[in-house]
Structure 1
Amino acid sequence: MDRNGEGKVSRKEFPRPLFDRLDTNNDGHLTLEEVRRALSSQRAMQMTPMGQTSGLSGAGELGIVEAVFELCVRDVEACVKFYREGIRMREVEPATATGTLLEWAGCYLRLRKVPGRKCPPPSENPMRQILTSSGPRRLSLWFKDPESVVERLVKAGYPAPLKAGNVSMTWDPDGNVVEIMSIPRTAATETFTWGMNVSDEMAARKFYGDRLGLQEFAPWNLPATRGVKMYLFAAGAGRIKFSSPPGQRSRGSGAGPDPPGLRSVTLRVADLAAARRGLEKRV
């Protein structure tokens, strides 16, 4: 990447949002020391319950370096304000009428404008809303100080999040559920997590673990639902988590690309050709 051999990499030589996260002194160049510090931080995030590390966090066998979660919204301006001022996400790209790109905890949230009227204030319990269908259902954000986030949202004029145990739940202005919780014992730092319901948890584990080669963490036992586990996989600096709650649910995947809500996860890799070869071997 260092095409001119000066011992550091410029933004032109490294054209991706990851540059901003690695450029800790904001001088417009990446040095070897900055990259080493980033790798050290990533390894710290890889802590297992036994306190051991196992390589670059979230990279997996495909060399994943970033995760971009896409959220389709009807009111881009209101959602940008919520995530930027309430959650404290960083605006990577200037917001336009069609959307923007935000960053928090090393992961990215792509807001994309879709047609439709502004969403009325939600009236149902957020957990009930989560359980209505399979597929991506919520953003789960793990904070060092979740109470300060709740206070900040209330001061900004948003409804007080509903608290249940160590988790608080709220909605963004488009009615998407946002889960605010403290960092669990199995994580070392603030983490951006994508929460899903699945109809077949074993098939989902096989897809993310065997097919994509993502690192799997120890599952959680969900106290509110006996016998149900939450499975977690690393995705760049973030995580994907899913469970299969009892009951019949509609399939969110049949909604198509344009309805509002959480739509997709993009996994950016260091070497696309190598990642393709790795996937082909897993077919």
Structure 2
Amino acid sequence: MRPLRFVALGDSLTEEVGDPVGESRRGWAALLARGLAPRDTAVEFTNLALSGAQTRDVLERQTPVALSLRPDVVSVVIGVNDTLRCTFDIPSVAERLDTVYGLFRARGALVMTACLPDPGSMLGLPGALARPLARRQRAVNAVVHALSERHGALHLHAAEEDWLTDRSLWSADRLHPGERGHRQLALRFHALLAERGVATGSAPAAEPESAAPTRSASLRWLATAGTGWVARRCTDLLPQLLTLAASEVRHRARGTSARLDLRTAHAVSAALAALAVTERPDAA
């Protein structure tokens, strides 16, 4: 009997950022892998996630490698970095995700997805800057919700308020979970997989093994590595984000902010409608 194969795709959230263990890192996917089967049953876990990855990277670079591994379970948690680029385009994001989900479903793999919080609110950006990013992330989440249902994926709701406001779950950068947060992600995915009879091992422990970073360590990170991290992710977005913020201010002054939300909703609907008339890869 061959081992259960679990492959994780995505960006820094799945690459283990925020969960250091000694000189290495662990992350929610590795924690989950340990609970997919009883201890006497082998599980082959491969993590292909890479910091900074966008949906294009998942489609063009990670998916071909993952398909060659013939996974039974595959996680595809991606999209935040797309919202931080000036090239953000929700129809393209939808098309890529639809293709990725379909390719794995055609091979009989169970796909795991998640909706995510928007980076603007997590970083505490001013409203005029945060709202455009929030709107983009809501669009990505709406697409992920719809396509997860379409492809029979197992979907985790990870953008709700209680998850976002508990600071003990988050690392110093305010964008990635800390050890406690990674454990919560693993626990919640494990519960969903157990409901489907896929996870048959013990659930990961909820309590962290390591002490949370001190406030001084968090401040040092934000003042050094954190600044560089944010700059690398947002450099090409900043000019466009300032333009979006100016538009946000104008609409709020006129009382027409709802038009921006409506425009985004229409874009999401149009993107999904365009996919609905194409043949699904797993339906061939």
Higher strand share: 1
TM-score computed with the length of structure 2 as normaliser: 0.27
Higher helix share: 2
TM-score computed with the length of structure 1 as normaliser: 0.27
